[in-house]
Copies of this chain bind each other. A is one copy, B any other.
Amino acid sequence: MFDVKTVNQVMDIIKREFRKLDLGHEQVELRDALGRTTAEDVTAHEDIPGFDRSSVDGYAVFSADTFGASETLPAQLKLAGTVQMGKKPDFVLERGYAAYVPTGGQLPEGADAMVMVEYSEDLGDGEVYLHKAAAPGSHLVFRGDDTRVGTVLMKKGTRIRVQDIGALAALGYPRVLAEKRLRVGILSTGDEIVQVDQKPQGSQMRDVNSHLLAAGVREAGGEPVLYGIAGDRYEDIHALVTQALAECHLVLISGGSSVGTRDETLRVMETLEKSALLVHGIAVKPGKPTILARVGQKAVVGLPGHPASAFFIFRVFVRQLIQVLSGTQTVSSRVVKAYMDGNYPSNSGREEYVPVMLEEREGKIKACPVFGKSGLITLLTRADGYVHIQRGAEGLGAGQEVEVELF
């Protein structure tokens, strides 16, 4: 017989029983690489920049030739030429000479410093006055300053951000070897469930959870695979879950709401080959009737049928599971402090997630609970986030400071 587990116990079980899976890898074009995870170390194959470069518009010089130069006593140098952007200089600088180089242009061989154009005076007769002394290396970016050949720029397992796309472009990666996305199979159970585009007859209900969970999986960086509606029969559910498990890393069965359907889902999860039932019931509101099993290294979750309950169970537990199985921090939470607007009683003996709207009044952010019967998904469209009430806490008092986890 299974005891109902606390939230912390379930989190511990997820960390203990699951680990990063080998997801395989694939080449991904740069334009599709944002948010993906590197499947190998990203190494520089060349020095960046590949040449000593000026970081200003001005004159390339031997720094020694500018020694002591000042506003009143300029260094007087002969002009060796002008460096073109993107071209290799076709001359070597010699002592006593200067050459014009635009920002980003290549430093001619021989030179070791730049003097900004602001401190120069082109005499028009092939000579230039420089009114400032330059230390060796002034206003230069040296070959390899950005990256040296062989440098590992991103370790395997790095989630690719906007600036990382830039770095990949700089290194000459038009595509990158990325981990495949975690495949998450999704199916709904319950004879009363119909497709979204169908009009429910009698007491039928539309399949909300498949779409809700698919969106959540996508937001968390996974790839949702929809298996449709399994109905109520053990054989049908078993067959569909078995197929989903063969094709995916994680399977979400969103339950029929009735005990009968839930029992069948439980039986399926118990009888899958290599299945180990880990959790049967969580002391949390909403979402108590949640089931978790490990099947080999993969995971199967039985979620409540009520969409709002399924949403919170996804948000709190399934996202954690996705992170563990895919081995990356794929979602991050944002928290704001707010003050409770009114009392919210709680004596369920379970941890509770309370959806709230945020309102700014009198210079303070107020958290207003979105009341309503549990399971009503439309309530959540009005919520900006939720407050987490600890087990044993006696609810929240008006004016109490709370942390709101934003959606």
Contact = CB atoms under 8 A, between A and B. Distances in A.
A72 interface: no
A381 B153 contact: yes
Interface stretch (A43-51, A123-131, A358-366): A43-51
Contact of A141 (B192, B206, B373): B373
Main secondary structure of the interface of A (DSSP, over half): loop
Contacts of A204: 86
A216 B311 contact: no
Contacts of A314: 162
A225 to B, nearest CB: 11
Contacts of A92: none
Interface string A224-247: 100000001000000000000000
Nearest to A232: B85
- Interface footprint category on A: 35 or more
A258 B153 contact: no
Interface in A144-187: 145-147, 151, 153-154, 161-170, 172-174
A141 to B, nearest CB: 6
A222 interface: no
A168 B210 CA distance: 12
A199 B149 CA distance: 14
A137 to B, nearest CB: 11
Given A51-B202, A203-B51, A211 B375 contact: no
A153 B203 contact: no
Nearest to A90: B202
Nearest to A45: B199
A214 B31 contact: yes
A270 to B, nearest CB: 21
A165 B202 contact: no
Given A31-B214, A215-B162, A192 B104 contact: yes
A258 B57 contact: yes
A38 B173 CA distance: 37
A21 interface: no
A219 to B, nearest CB: 6
Task: Specify how many copies of this chain sit in the oligomer.
Answer: 2
A302 interface: no
A190 interface: yes
A211 B163 contact: no
A256 B85 contact: yes
Nearest to A107: B203
Contact of A311 (B87, B162, B199): B162
A88 interface: yes
B104 A163 contact: no
A88 B260 CA distance: 18
Contact of A169 (B165, B169, B201, B207): B207
A154 B382 CA distance: 9
A170 B307 contact: yes
A67 interface: no
7 contacts: A50-B203, A85-B232, A88-B201, A102-B258, A104-B190, A164-B381, A166-B208
Given A105-B192, A145-B376, A163-B212, 5 more contacts: A50-B200, A55-B373, A85-B232, A87-B192, A163-B381
9 tightest A-B contacts by CB?
Answer: A86-B192, A106-B203, A88-B202, A166-B212, A102-B258, A163-B380, A104-B257, A165-B215, A169-B211
Interface of A: 30-31, 33-34, 46, 48-51, 53, 55, 57, 83-88, 102-106, 117, 141, 145-147, 151, 153-154, 161-170, 172-174, 190-193, 195-212, 214-216, 218-219, 224, 232, 256-261, 305, 307-308, 311, 314, 332, 334, 372-381, 383, 406-407
